[in-house]
Every structure is written in structure tokens, then in C-alpha cells.
């Protein structure tokens, strides 16, 4: 099969098309003939050498795919060859074939294309487990997500709004701000022009927000604590501006805050399977009704993975960046 080889890592131009054997199925797995794969920030981190795959995972980049089931292990009963699925992968998505634990596959939502379905798993698994499981967002609460125009941000805005929250977000320009408002955000704050702490205080009558989903870290951490309401929760899913900071933790005590975080990739097959079940029951109907939708900014042929990564690193995109593996 053809796949993207990133060698020993480095800049985006290290990625090249190469050939390798088709993955051999292990117990509980399905082999997917990949039609589309999503591009995500962890792929960029892995390519650059700062995010090695967990033990046992494919060294090939790519954490989400959609395509046709090509083969199943003897103990797999829920899928059969020919089924169309999208899946969260442990790695290996930038390839013509990808082996995936069967419970991490989901049916293609009615009305969505394979391309659109491939844009779902990484973002929707991440948002569901962090905003609704860990963050416990409820209807009527106020929610702030940073990076609103990213795949994670747009997913979080739509799902939080669909489940009855008031939604705020931060973005880097007015075009992104308008897009986020159009897709459901109650307010979008341009962090280059505005202080989001002051804006949140004004928007909430100085009460603060109940939940923040942050992937920035660095100087945002102390600002997030200032922006939370009594009993507020801060959930960290990345540290684009660093994880080591000096900050005043007094707000945690005074406002009885909770600061937690998580990663998705190292979780067990069973833990990810539970997230998949929640998504199929509670979120897939929203996708099928059109209340929530994936947003795709650009799609590149597999051989142009370098361009896809360069776009991701530029942060000029709004929504998902995809790779077309099989036309």
C-alpha cells in the first residue's frame, strides 16, 4: 500500500509517499480501505518529533479515517467487509489501508459523505469526552472555547449550543469571528484586538463562565482562572503556548474551581469504545438532522500531505483539513 512516510521527523517537507505492507489484523480489529483521512494538530506534533505514538500504535501519521471495511478479524461481529465506516484510529490513517479496533468505528451518519464523515472522529471524540464527560456542561450554563475556528472549536461551539449552553469563543480575526457566530457562537472575541478576560466579564455581568475548554495554555491559564464563575471548570487538552507557567492559584480556592485535562490517544480500547457509543446515541442524530455539521476548509491528495500540514501550521484555515486517499 501507499502511505505517507515522515522518516525521522522534522519540517513538513520530510513527508513523502512510500510503500509498505498492508497492516495485519489483530484480534478485535477491522481493516479499512481508506478514502479520506483527517489532518490534526497531533499529526503535526508527531511529524515534528514532539509527540511519539503510544506503545503498540502504528508509527504512520493519521488519527481518523473514513472508508470501506476491507476485512475483519475472526472475533469481530459488528462489522463486515463492504460496510462504510468512519473511525478513530490509534495511528496509520495517512495510508491506503488502516487497522482499527472495531469498537472505535461508527457508521456514516445519514446524509453525510465519506469526506465529511472522516472529519468527525478526532474532534467529536475529543469534544464529547472533555466538554460533556469531564467538563459536565449542562443546558443553561456559559461555555468558553478557545480557538473557535479550529476543528475542535467549531465542533465544541455546535455541540454546546445544541445541548443548550450559551457559547463564547476566541478567534484571531474578524472573518473567523463572523464564521463562529454564524455557526452558533453567542459571541466571538478577537484575542488580537480584545482582552478576553474583560470581554467575558462584560458578557456575563462579571459572573464568569461555567466551563472553559483550552488548548492554548501558557499565559491563558491564569486568564482562564480569572474568567471562571463560582464552581467553574477548566479543561486543558493541549499547550500550544507552553505548559510551564508561574501563576496565582488563589482563584481555585476562592471560587472553588476545578482544573483538569486529558489526552485521548493513550486511552484504552474500552474507554474509547464508550465514547463512540455515546456519540452514536446522542450526537449522530444531530448530524443526521443537520443541527450539527462538519466544516471542511480544504482537501489535499495524499501525496500533498506536506501542503496540508503547512496550512495547519499557518492557522489560516477555518475548520478541518482533509487528505483524499482514494477518489
Domain of residue 48, CATH code: 3.90.180.10
| Band (216; pLDDT cuts 50, 70, 90) | very high
Q: What is the pLDDT of residue 272?
A: 98
Transcribe 251-313 into DSSP letters: HHHHTT-EEEE--STTS-HHHHHHHHHHIIIIIHHHHHHTSS---EEEEEEGGGHHHHHHHHH
Residue that terminates a domain, selected from 229, 261, 293: 261
Residue that terminates a domain, selected from 261, 289, 310: 261
Transcribe 124-171 into DSSP letters: HHHHIIIIIIIS---TT-EEEESSTTSHHHHHHHHHHHHTT-EEEEEE
- Among 29, 28, 93, smallest CA distance to 58 is for 93
Q: Is the pLDDT of residue 327 over 80?
A: no
Give the mean pLDDT of the chain: 97
Question: pLDDT per residue over 97-123, tens digit each?
Answer: 999 999 999 999 999 999 999 999 999
Distances in whole angstroms, Cα of residue 298 to Cα of each of 231, 291, 301, 316 = 40, 22, 10, 11
pLDDT, mean of residues 210-227 = 98
Same domain flag for 205 and 141: yes
Same domain flag for 90 and 106: yes
Same domain flag for 249 and 269: no
DSSP designation for 323 = E
Distances in whole angstroms, Cα of residue 132 to Cα of each of 123, 144, 224, 234, 268 = 13, 13, 19, 12, 19
Q: Is the pLDDT of residue 203 over 80?
A: yes
Length of the chain: 327
Q: What is the pLDDT of residue 201?
A: 98
Same domain flag for 225 and 302: no
Same domain flag for 257 and 276: no
Identify whether the C-beta of residue 63 lies closer than 8 Å to the C-beta of residue 94. Answer: no
Q: What is the pLDDT of residue 188?
A: 98
Angle at alpha carbon of residue 110, lines to 308 and 181, rounded to 5°:
60
Question: pLDDT per residue over 120-156, tens digit each?
Answer: 999 999 999 999 999 999 999 999 999 999 999 999 9
Same domain flag for 225 and 160: yes
Q: Is the pLDDT of residue 248 over 90?
A: yes
Identify whether the C-beta of residue 288 lies closer than 8 Å to the C-beta of residue 111. Answer: yes
pTM: 0.96
Q: Which CATH number goes with the domain that contains 178?
A: 3.40.50.720
Instruction: Classify the C-alpha dihedral 26-28-34-40 as positive or negative.
Output: negative
**H/E element, 71:** strand 64-72
| Structural domains counted in the chain | 2
Question: pLDDT per residue over 41-96, tens digit each?
Answer: 999 999 999 999 999 899 999 999 999 999 999 999 999 999 999 999 999 999 99
DSSP designation for 89 = -
Same domain flag for 156 and 250: yes
228 in helix, strand or coil? strand
Percent of the chain with pLDDT over 90: 98
**H/E element, 324:** strand 320-324
Residue that terminates a domain, selected from 243, 261, 279: 261
State which residues form the domain around 52: 2-120+265-324
Amino acid at each position: 500500500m501507499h502511505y505517507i512516510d515522515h522518516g525521522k521527523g522534522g519540517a513538513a517537507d520530510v513527508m513523502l509517499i512510500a510503500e509498505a505492507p498492508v497492516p495485519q489484523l489483530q484480534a478485535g480489529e477491522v481493516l479499512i480501505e481508506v478514502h479520506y483521512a483527517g489532518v490534526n494538530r497531533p499529526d503535526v506534533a508527531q511529524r515534528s518529533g514532539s509527540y511519539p505514538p503510544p506503545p503498540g500504535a502504528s508509527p504512520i501519521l493519521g488519527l481518523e479515517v473514513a472508508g470501506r471495511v476491507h476485512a475483519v478479524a475472526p472475533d469481530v461481529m459488528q462489522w463486515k467487509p463492504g460496510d462504510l465506516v468512519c473511525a478513530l484510529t490509534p495511528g496509520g490513517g495517512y495510508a491506503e489501508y488502516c487497522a482499527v479496533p472495531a469498537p472505535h468505528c461508527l457508521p456514516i451518519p445519514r446524509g453525510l459523505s465519506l469526506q465529511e464523515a472522516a472529519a468527525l472522529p478526532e474532534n467529536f471524540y475529543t469534544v464529547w469526552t472533555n466538554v460533556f464527560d469531564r467538563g459536565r456542561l449542562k443546558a443553561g450554563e456559559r461555555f468558553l472555547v478557545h480557538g473557535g475556528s479550529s476543528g475542535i472549536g467549531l465542533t465544541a461551539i455546535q455541540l454546546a449550543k445544541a445541548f443548550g449552553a450559551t457559547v463564547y469563543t476566541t478567534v484571531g480575526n474578524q472573518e473567523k469571528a463572523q464564521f463562529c457566530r454564524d455557526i452558533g457562537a453567542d459571541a466571538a472575541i478577537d484575542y488580537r484586538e480584545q482582552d478576553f478576560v474583560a470581554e467575558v466579564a462584560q458578557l456575563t455581568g462579571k459572573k464568569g463562565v461555567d466551563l472553559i475548554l483550552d488548548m492554548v495554555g501558557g499565559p491563558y491559564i491564569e486568564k482562564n482562572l480569572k474568567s471562571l464563575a463560582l464552581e467553574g471548570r477548566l479543561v486543558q487538552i493541549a499547550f500550544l503556548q507552553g505548559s510551564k507557567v508561574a501563576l496565582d492559584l488563589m482563584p481555585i480556592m476562592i471560587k472553588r474551581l476545578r482544573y483538569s485535562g486529558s489526552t485521548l490517544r493513550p486511552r484504552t480500547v474500552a474507554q474509547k469504545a464508550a465514547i463512540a457509543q455515546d456519540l452514536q446515541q446522542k450526537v449522530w442524530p444531530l448530524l443526521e438532522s443537520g443541527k450539527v455539521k462538519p466544516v471542511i476548509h480544504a482537501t489535499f491528495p495524499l501525496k500533498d500531505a506536506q501542503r496540508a500540514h503547512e496550512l495547519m501550521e499557518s492557522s489560516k484555515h477555518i475548520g478541518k483539513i482533509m487528505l483524499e486517499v482514494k477518489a
